Structure 1
Amino acid sequence: MEFSLTTPALLFPAISLLMLAYTNRFIVISQLIRNLYQQHQQTPSRFMRLQIEHLRTRVRLIRAMQAWGAVAFIACTLSMLLNLLELGTWPLYLFGGSLVALLVSLIISLVEIIISGYAIRIQLQGLDRPRGEVKGFDNET
């Protein structure tokens, strides 16, 4: 099998765009947590607390996505470097490792998207109820 320098180079734009998307998600969710926390301090509610807990989980997942994306980027870069130095099959192994790391990052992203959908359903349930109440929840802390 021929393994050229352009093979891992194809992954660079994809990983870069994913890292940018992950960072944007992290920033938006962090800001949302700050806003909800301030609201919760003023008017505590179990509903808001539940939202904050879901967002905390999502932030942890996004950090894991970013870490695995960074590992994929590093492995891809090392693969190109070792390929330039013509070091046998090591570039191929590192490229395979970068693909595995990217796959792990994408799987974690899928989990985060599922949790995000659940959180949105909770939020939409709040539209059908009096302010701050969701099925099974009340405004008690």
Structure 2
Amino acid sequence: MEALTLTTPALLFSAVSLILLAYTNRFLGYASLVRQLYEKLKANPDQVLLDQIMNLRKRLYLIKNMQLLGVASLMFCVLSMFLIYIEVFLPAAYAFGLGLLLLIISLLLSGWEIKISVRALDLHLNDMEHFSEDNS
């Protein structure tokens, strides 16, 4: 096996940072949507809005966990870089491996969250189709 160098976890460092930025943008989009739904629900409470709120709660929970796992992955990546810097290579390799594992789990949660988001949009599209059929 080839020795772990400082550049290997450094590559993961930049990738995880970009992923965390994407997660944060999704979170901010959902926060805005929650505020909009809150105003709509106050004006006209109905079951569709309540279903959307339940769906958003699930997605926000997933994004929170995606972000936490991404941050933990980044921390282990930095720890790995530090351990390589002080020439403690075996723990550095384990820290790097754990960082990779946490990133994989974070990405799997991201895929799950995307699936839920698409399902929510599909329900919205179905509702619009029924609305247009009823008005025809």
Please state which band the TM-score falls in when normalised by the shorter chain.
over 0.9
Q: Distance in 2 between matches of 1:116 and 1:75?
A: 30
- 2:97 corresponds in structure 1 to 96
Amino acid at match of 2:74: F
Q: Distance in 2 between matches of 1:105 and 1:38?
A: 32
Q: Distance in 2 between matches of 1:90 and 1:40?
A: 52
Segments of 5+ residues of structure 2 without an aligned counterpart are none
Deviation at 1:56, TM superposition (A): 0.8
Contact kept, 8 Å, 2:4 with 2:89, in 1: the verdict is no
Q: Distance in 1 between matches of 2:56 and 2:89?
A: 45
Please identify which structure carries the higher helix content: 2
CA RMSD of aligned residues (A): 1.4
- Per-residue displacement from partner, 1:56-96 (whole Å, max 9, x unpaired)? 11000000000000000000000000100001301000000
Amino acid at match of 2:76: A
Q: Distance in 2 between matches of 1:112 and 1:87?
A: 38
- 1:87 corresponds in structure 2 to 88
Q: Distance in 2 between matches of 1:30 and 1:129?
A: 28
Q: Distance in 1 between matches of 2:42 and 2:130?
A: 22
Q: Aligned residue pairs: how many?
A: 132
Amino acid at match of 1:72: S
Q: Distance in 2 between matches of 1:82 and 1:129?
A: 60
Q: Distance in 2 between matches of 1:107 and 1:113?
A: 10
- 2:37 corresponds in structure 1 to 36
Deviation at 1:125, TM superposition (A): 1.1
Q: Distance in 2 between matches of 1:105 and 1:115?
A: 15
Q: Percent identity?
A: 40
Amino acid at match of 1:89: L
Amino acid at match of 1:68: L
- 1:128 corresponds in structure 2 to 129
Matches within 5 A, 1:105-116: 105-116=106-117
Q: Distance in 2 between matches of 1:37 and 1:25?
A: 18
- 2:8 corresponds in structure 1 to 7
1:44 is paired with a residue of what secondary structure? Answer: coil
Q: Distance in 2 between matches of 1:88 and 1:38?
A: 55
